[in-house]
Structure 1
Amino acid sequence: MGTVTVGAVRERAPGERRVALVPEAVALLRRAGIDVLVETGAGSGAWFTDADYTEAGAVVVAPDELYARADAVLCVAPPEAENAGTLREGQVLVGLLELRRHPELAEQLAGRSVRTVSLDLLPRTLSRAQSMDALTSQANVAGYKAAVLAADSYDRFFPMLTTAAGTMRPAQVLVLGAGVAGLQAIATARRLGAVVTAYDVRPASRGEVESLGARFLDLQGLAQGEQGGYARELTEDEQQAQRAALDAHIARTDIVITTAQVPGRKPPLLVTASAVEGMKPGSVVVDLAASELGGNVEGSEPDKTTVLDNGVTLIGAGRLPSAMATAASTAYARNLVALLKHLVRDGELVLDADDEITGALMGKTSPTEGVSS
């Protein structure tokens, strides 16, 4: 019986502070009989030192040695072309690879006969795969951080306060999208004392929203639907009707947090520039879907905060998990431990395309696409 060796690389994407494995996860993998390599400095962005990894049982190595020895290379974000070119035939690359958004990378890896396991392809409807669901774990972090970021950027109080100087009214928060990130944003904003309203196209989300103490915004006559655990992507006509119905509610809101994303494709536009222009000075808009493909809010840009002419702060916050690198890395590493325990059998790394989990992660089967939030 052989021994599987996995290697966690240092992330090189600008602003990416997460790491695929944390020391806690190294210890769990070692107990499962898996050898672990960690690239020098891989955990520094999440405040884990090389000594922490060594103490947990990993071997800290230079990148060349890691790529040469590892059976599986573990990452968070898709690798740059230069690093992808280091992978060898038959090696396995595991991460949030988003190959549908990066066709050049997919072609490069296929040309080198590198096998890919992409966690963003995990079927959400499989209950036995929940412990491997990295999209959910990272969305939880993003939703929490979005509410905290909004509160920090808002120049008034979130809760109602009664003081000698009078009563301060609570902030009015609107969360668009009641998936994982949206529900966490709702819960966090409620804990901070805001009055929260939320909207989602899925009828089932009403109960989830109300269970957190928020009000569900019911836009009568608009399309609803759900596919495979995600909100169904609306047609352009349906999206236009949705935006028009939301505009009036957005104008009465102090904080808007948007969370709707389509795996591998452009996020739906939920908030128009005219809607933002109608908000009061001092209001805050946080767009979790902001990316190079666009966002939920017209005019938002990834990793950019803009104070508009009307006094509204627009935050493109597409990489919030990296802003909480320690918590996000810990959750992600636990997802990888669960995945590797599924893939490693009798000391061998087994990629069975007929297995419903493994086959989906390898892109052999197509998960239902929809809007995640």
Structure 2
Amino acid sequence: MKLAVPRESEAGEPRVAATPDTVKRFVALGFDVAVEKGAGALSRIPDADFEAAGATLAADAKATLADADVVLKVRRPSTDELGLTKKGALVIASMDPYGHDDAVKAMAEAGIAAFAMEFMPRITRAQSMDVLSSQANLAGYQAVIDASAEYDRAMPMMMTAAGTVPAARVFVMGAGVAGLQAIATARRLGAVVTATDVRPAAKEQVESLGAKFVAVEDDEFKQAETAGGYAKEMSDEYKKKQNELVATHIAKQDIVITTALIPGRPAPKLIDAAMVASMKPGSVIVDLAVERGGNVEGSKPGKIAKSGDVKIIGHLNVPGRIAASASTLYAKNLFAFAETMIDKEAKAIAVNWDDELVKATVLTRDGQVVHPAFAPDTK
């Protein structure tokens, strides 16, 4: 069995899909592991560390992918990489398939079995494979660090002989994995933190971290969560009431961090231009949903935009801004999933296509798009 770890081909992606630790584990499962030279450089992993763990260094993508049975990536394979990957290979990555039907079709036509890690079901058995949570956790942390770097005042309250410096007021919109980590990080830095979310269960989580919960808590609010734990789309009436409350609250904040995403849909707009204009000079907004259209009017992908005297941070690939940590967690997520598809006694690939984890994540197989969200309508 050969496992390939190519260097990421997409510009601006510093993460890598394996670490020396996971390479050792794959070797123990019976794999010959090929890692492309320089694959881990931007995640602070020298080639020598991969070699010491048992990997063979390959000169380029062609040599890395040649005859590979399993390919691990951070991003979905490019057209060039598909051309170098043999039919029937298992390719495991974050595929970002929504809105990229042509890319999904290309993977099917290449004959690979493509697995989208972001579709991993949120069940106890799959917690160690949850790339959305591992990467969102780091994004929430980094959002606060980025905000504090642009905010030209101290975050904690400081009592000095020369007077008192008030604590920064931080408002986190969306209390999922990223939001909860943003709350915890802002609290560690000494800020006064408030947060909002449309899911009732979030209130207790927010308050357990020492933040105050801000929401219109009516009957609709109490039913605003799907069986999968995601936020439901709210009615226009609720949105109006919530917007009025949020608008009043935002005007008093120093830093706002938005994290709201709905799978398969554009990010909901949470902050309009009037709300931005109401904030004090020097205030900072971090839009973690900028890659999906953004939660904030005026945010620009990959830029720090200015609206009056308010900065709107729209960094792309926020987990990649702390690539060394992100790669460590991501690689463990991939190993935990790949391990379920290996017969350890026979040291052979043995995919159980009826496994709920496989059925939830497989996008393409045997030349066809098989995931129900993307498969052609045959009715």
Task: State the AA in 2 paired with 1:75.
Answer: K
Over 3 Å counting, the alpha-carbon distance change for 1:102 and 1:59 in structure 2 is: same
Task: Determine if contact 1:285/1:314 at 8 Å carries over to the other structure.
Answer: yes
Q: Tell me how many residue pairs correspond in the alignment.
A: 361
Q: What is the aligned partner in structure 1 of residue 327 from structure 2? A: 329
Task: Determine if contact 1:161/1:169 at 8 Å carries over to the other structure.
Answer: yes
Deviations 1:16-36 (A, max 9, x none): 100000112111222232321
Task: State the AA in 1 paired with 2:106.
Answer: Q
Q: What is the aligned partner in structure 1 of residue 139 from structure 2? A: 142
Task: Determine if contact 2:38/2:47 at 8 Å carries over to the other structure.
Answer: yes
Task: Determine if contact 1:239/1:269 at 8 Å carries over to the other structure.
Answer: no
Q: What is the aligned partner in structure 1 of residue 54 from structure 2? A: 57
CA shift, 1:269, in A, is 0.9
| Cα distance between partner residues in 1 of 2:193 and 2:116 | 35
Q: Where do residues 331-346 of structure 1 align in structure 2 (5 Å cutoff)?
A: 331-345=329-343, 346=346
Task: Determine if contact 1:98/1:264 at 8 Å carries over to the other structure.
Answer: no
Task: State the AA in 2 paired with 1:259.
Answer: T
Task: Determine if contact 1:352/1:359 at 8 Å carries over to the other structure.
Answer: no
Instruction: State which drifts further: 192-201 or 106-115.
Output: 106-115
Over 3 Å counting, the alpha-carbon distance change for 1:186 and 1:176 in structure 2 is: same
CA shift, 1:366, in A, is 6.1
SS, match of residue 262 in structure 2: coil
CA shift, 1:261, in A, is 1.3
Q: What is the aligned partner in structure 2 of residue 230 from structure 1? A: 230
| Cα distance between partner residues in 1 of 2:185 and 2:262 | 24
| Cα distance between partner residues in 1 of 2:15 and 2:333 | 14
CA shift, 1:235, in A, is 4.9
Q: What is the aligned partner in structure 2 of residue 370 from structure 1? A: none
SS, match of residue 74 in structure 2: coil
Q: Where do residues 1-373 of structure 1 align in structure 2 (5 Å cutoff)?
A: 4-61=1-58, 62-124=60-122, 126-221=123-218, 223-224=220-221, 225-227=224-226, 228-235=228-235, 238-291=238-291, 293-309=292-308, 311-345=309-343, 346-363=346-363
Deviations 1:310-349 (A, max 9, x none): x101001341111000000000001011111111123222
CA RMSD of aligned residues (A): 1.7
SS, match of residue 138 in structure 1: helix
| Cα distance between partner residues in 2 of 1:49 and 1:353 | 36
| Cα distance between partner residues in 2 of 1:299 and 1:347 | 53
SS, match of residue 305 in structure 2: strand
Over 3 Å counting, the alpha-carbon distance change for 1:210 and 1:56 in structure 2 is: same
Q: What is the aligned partner in structure 2 of residue 371 from structure 1? A: none
| Cα distance between partner residues in 2 of 1:351 and 1:272 | 48
| Cα distance between partner residues in 1 of 2:176 and 2:155 | 23
Task: State the AA in 1 paired with 2:162.
Answer: A
Deviations 1:224-279 (A, max 9, x none): 31120222233556445433331111111110001111233211111111111111
